[in-house]
Structure 1
């Protein structure tokens, strides 16, 4: 590791102190005097998200540009958008429905995203679906245009995206909810360098999770401010109806094991139980669901562990299992932990409950990255030193961006100071030379 300049070290220390202070304020003991009823935090929309209004049909459907993030509202029903795609990349269109915190959902209500041709035919691998439990928490689904030899949807041109919100029950909410849309582009591999079939067998044993002392890391409200985690044990807190988001960098060939534990709450009744009281979900770098599991919670103790992921590999996109198809590209994988809203019916819903996350990352190097024609980093995928550093320091994406700007500012200050010092030394040399020459 290269040494940091003193000013950079100071900036890092300030950021660390601010982060520790913020976490200390957030992680007050359950039931303490500080646990006053406060609204649950709202989903943080991506900085610079553009307002857009989808249409009920393809007529006059607005354009979604690759690399951009949009914000719309979606009532039960469908909205249509337009895409202009090249013939040299896979494209992922994610929709994240984020109802107001504390909103109930009709069980099984959900979200569907479909990429289709101008003729109305669904492209291979579509639609992408996701469903609510009892709580209307942030929910992501993805439609895609994959580069697959001899398949439909390979040509450049106009395509459409249909985003559908389903409301199956008579008691399902009907109000329009905000939806965040994002278009991500995965460059094509160089000809003949990428696999065209799913990998063979891989280590699938249950993950061995770490048991070290937990370190505080406060999760975010969604994908845009998810807190970075690496391997280790992490501590946070949850209130009933709240979802916390985290992100873990997974490089090619790496596998993720993760478990969540919720501790004892302050009970307001002698007995209570909430099915799906604790839910743990994993999302891909393009915000597609990978795996989700839940367990009941009676206010005393609960835990849930996801199966260890397949090693990250390009060929996983051709697998039969959805959970394997989801780990097809290196990058940030997102973890969402929800404490069910029904838990508030038998516990103090204003008091947060201690949450422990255990993260294990294993493998690496067993599945080499394909030779992409373009860098993955520019598309928002891949794992490099910046991602590993953010995980070590526990930074959200906005904090990591601010840190990079701090470093650039520090380097500019040092460069200016170095130039000034060099000029002074040079001027001093001229004066000394003039004196030795006998000139005034």
Structure 2
């Protein structure tokens, strides 16, 4: 019943109050700072999303050739820019002496460009004296298939760090990664930038990483998959919870999902590529690339799945429970699981799959499990910017839903989230309401 109400409200352009509004979020690809309707228009039908969906509210800015001309990026803002084939693009931050700040840059190469496994984007954050606070690189990986990738850098207020603690002007530098930089792709790339601020904690803040955590991988979630079309960008990422989720992905395409993960919870993900026609032959060593990013779009870990036309699967390496102290751990996997919020699963099917198996969509299934008891978050002395970035609400969990189909109720839910026409959903909904009204009248 609820799924039908969602479909009607979405079709009519209404904002439904209460639980109906939250269910509408589940029905349309959407991120914490995005709007749903445009995301569905950009994503298109299942398995055929359009180009990367930049944030609607993104402000257009130009990266400067010199730090002297760098434009200001403000925490909580989204920005759209261009990454040149060579050289660097500079941006500016004005920071206080107490908050930790994260900057993420998503590089979006145009379709049809060539690339190597080590091509990608590099982000560096420096203080006013040119001292590096942090630097990270994101690459296209073994598949050598250009697709949106994000790298992050942080100005972290921590007892472990002796630099970049003062208030003042800081600079963000974004450049191409790889030995040939822009040589393999002379066209400019699109660039989406976000900056966020994390407030300080009280004096009881953790100063070391957890000593031990359960690193055993549980069995993947079982059950029939619920079809949930992937989004076309971070702000259009489709919301999913624990369960089994299905879409079809074409070679060269990228799908975005987000999973609310609370403090104390562990995230487990298995990705599967379904079989194609039985008479096909060939093999692609790194056909599927699945990247996991944290709530500030910081890279956490990834996996690659080889494909020969038959069913293949693999799971992300074990991840620790989400705790504040993970930031003191060595290695990106633990370090990235430092706060609660929306974690992003970005699935890319390499363009080489089309050469071996044709350009038809390949079935993609994501099995998502959340283990561990939810815990209270740390005692922040203030709010994040944007607000609520490091929290998971009951509304988030309700909208994410459960991804296993067991009967008619699941089929009704699939109406809202699986992409059938809203007009059809409306007709079904009117029929359901008529039956309910008759029963109530008879009673």
TM-score per shorter chain, which class? 0.7 to 0.9
Residues 61, 282 of structure 1: alpha-carbon distance in 2 compared, 3 angstrom cutoff: same
Partners of 2:281 and 2:370 in 1: CA distance: 38
| 1:96 equivalent in alignment to 2:106 | yes
Cα contact 2:242–2:402 (8 A) shared by 1: no
Offset, 1:208: 2.0
* Alignment correspondent of 2:45: 26
1:176 alignment partner, one of 185, 188, 210: 188
* Alignment correspondent of 2:407: none
Cα contact 1:278–1:304 (8 A) shared by 2: no
Cα contact 1:278–1:302 (8 A) shared by 2: no
* Alignment correspondent of 1:431: none
Partners of 2:383 and 2:183 in 1: CA distance: 48
Cα contact 1:52–1:71 (8 A) shared by 2: yes
Number of residues paired by the alignment? Answer: 374
Q: Which moved more, 1:97-106 or 1:43-52?
A: 97-106
Offset, 1:154: 1.1
| 1:230 equivalent in alignment to 2:238 | no
| 1:341 equivalent in alignment to 2:348 | no
* Alignment correspondent of 1:64: 73
* Alignment correspondent of 1:435: none
* Alignment correspondent of 2:363: 354
Q: Which entry has the higher C-alpha Rg, 1 or 2?
A: 1
- In structure 1, the gaps of 5 or more residues are 29-37, 400-440
Alignment root-mean-square deviation, CA: 2.9
Partners of 1:58 and 1:14 in 2: CA distance: 45
| 1:295 equivalent in alignment to 2:288 | no
| 1:73 equivalent in alignment to 2:82 | yes
Offset, 1:12: 6.0
Query: CA offsets per residue over residues 143-197 of structure 1, 9 Å max, x none?
Result: 100011262111111111111112424961111010000001111112x121011
Residues 301, 391 of structure 1: alpha-carbon distance in 2 compared, 3 angstrom cutoff: same
2:162 alignment partner, one of 125, 128, 151: 151
Offset, 1:381: 2.1
| 1:207 equivalent in alignment to 2:218 | yes
Offset, 1:307: 1.6
Q: TM-score, normalised by structure 1?
A: 0.79
Query: CA offsets per residue over residues 126-157 of structure 1, 9 Å max, x none?
Result: 10211113111110000100011262111111
* Alignment correspondent of 1:254: 265
Query: CA offsets per residue over residues 174-231 of structure 1, 9 Å max, x none?
Result: 11010000001111112x1210111110000123211111111111112111111111
Offset, 1:242: 1.0
Structure 2 matches for 1:34-433, cutoff 5 A?
Answer: 41-76=50-85, 77-123=87-133, 126-133=134-141, 134-149=144-159, 151-169=162-180, 172-190=184-202, 192-266=203-277, 270-349=280-359, 351-365=360-374, 368-376=376-384, 378=387, 380-392=389-401
SS of aligned partner of 1:344: helix
SS of aligned partner of 1:106: coil
Offset, 1:393: 8.2
Cα contact 1:80–1:160 (8 A) shared by 2: yes
Residues 86, 209 of structure 1: alpha-carbon distance in 2 compared, 3 angstrom cutoff: same
Partners of 2:20 and 2:112 in 1: CA distance: 37
SS of aligned partner of 2:370: strand
Partners of 2:72 and 2:294 in 1: CA distance: 24
Cα contact 2:59–2:80 (8 A) shared by 1: yes
Cα contact 2:105–2:150 (8 A) shared by 1: yes
Offset, 1:13: 11
Q: Which moved more, 1:241-250 or 1:9-18?
A: 9-18
Runs of 4+ in 1 over 6 A off after TM superposition: none
Partners of 1:295 and 1:10 in 2: CA distance: 38
* Alignment correspondent of 1:432: none
Residues 279, 109 of structure 1: alpha-carbon distance in 2 compared, 3 angstrom cutoff: same
Partners of 2:292 and 2:45 in 1: CA distance: 24
Cα contact 1:106–1:168 (8 A) shared by 2: no
Offset, 1:9: 8.2
Residues 74, 18 of structure 1: alpha-carbon distance in 2 compared, 3 angstrom cutoff: closer
Residues 264, 102 of structure 1: alpha-carbon distance in 2 compared, 3 angstrom cutoff: farther
Q: TM-score, normalised by structure 2?
A: 0.78
Cα contact 2:22–2:398 (8 A) shared by 1: no
* Alignment correspondent of 2:440: none
